[in-house]
Amino acid sequence: MFIQFYTILMDTKNVFASNYLAPIEYYYQLIKSEEAIIDTFENYIKQTYRNRCQILSPNGVQNLTIPLVKARQKKRTNKVQIAYDDNWRKIHWKSLESSYRSSPYFEYYEDDFYPYYHEKEYEYLVDFNAALQNKIIELLNLEIVVTQSEYYAENVPQKNDFRTLISPKNKSTLNFTKYIQVFGDRNGFNPNLSILDLLFNEGPNAVNYMKELKENV
């Protein structure tokens, strides 16, 4: 059984990390994948999109970071717990409101995202990330099968492995075309922000925008 699943994974599926409101590049690669695996058995990596997203605020690019329960040793990603000592959900939601309330599609999607910041609390980071990702896939009308791994995915071909490639530390390989951003007049165009930046500004056109992106050779 292990060998069978391993073969299918390596031959046909792209592998991604669990990300919080992942950047546009992440969803660009998802769109190109008929099936995708979210590796939740990898060792958790700090200072990545796993618990952080980037939005465009009135003062420029802003990081929204989910606080985590501190651990003395390395943990698998699916064991990382969210900390609720501070009301970070209220802070994140107010930041989204102040950044995108005047965007063309914020009010259209507001009710879809409001519950994640005001209702159920998720104990584990991967569950919160997955819930948001499923909602975004639904709103984008993507026909893609996304499943969580049952073990750590080893020996993944480089062309199928996006776990570390999509990172704040790495420059994107995509050539991003400009779209109108809220506060873009004062901050200039900022590419590859959270998928929410594209969704709130472009709405249903978000998928077409990503499909037309070109990779730098």
Q: What is the pTM of this model?
A: 0.91
- Mean pLDDT, contiguous 10-residue spans, the chain (217 residues): 38 87 97 92 95 96 97 89 96 98 98 97 97 97 91 90 94 95 94 98 97 88
Q: How far apart are CA 42 and CA 170, in angstroms?
A: 19
Give SS3 for 53: strand
Residues with Cβ within 8 Å of residue 10, at least 6 apart in sequence:
155, 156, 157, 160
Q: How far apart are CA 161 and CA 38, in angstroms?
A: 10
List of long-range contacts for 167-172, beta carbons under 8 Å, 24+ apart? 167/48, 167/49, 168/47, 168/48, 168/49, 168/52, 168/54, 169/47, 169/48, 172/23, 172/25
Joined tokens for residue 84:
């609720």
State the pLDDT at residue 217. 66
State the pLDDT at residue 12. 55
State the pLDDT at residue 71. 79
Give the DSSP H or E segment for 8.
helix 2-12
Burial class (CB in 10 A: 0-12, 13-18, 19+), 69: middle
Q: Which of 79, 83, 81, 82 is nearest to 152 (CA)?
A: 79
**For residues 141, 145, 147 and 151, what is the CA-based torsion angle, rounded to 10 degrees?**
-150
Report the Cα–Cα distance between both ends of the chain, in Å, rounded.
39
Question: Are 191 and 56 in contact, with CB atoms under 8 Å apart?
Answer: no
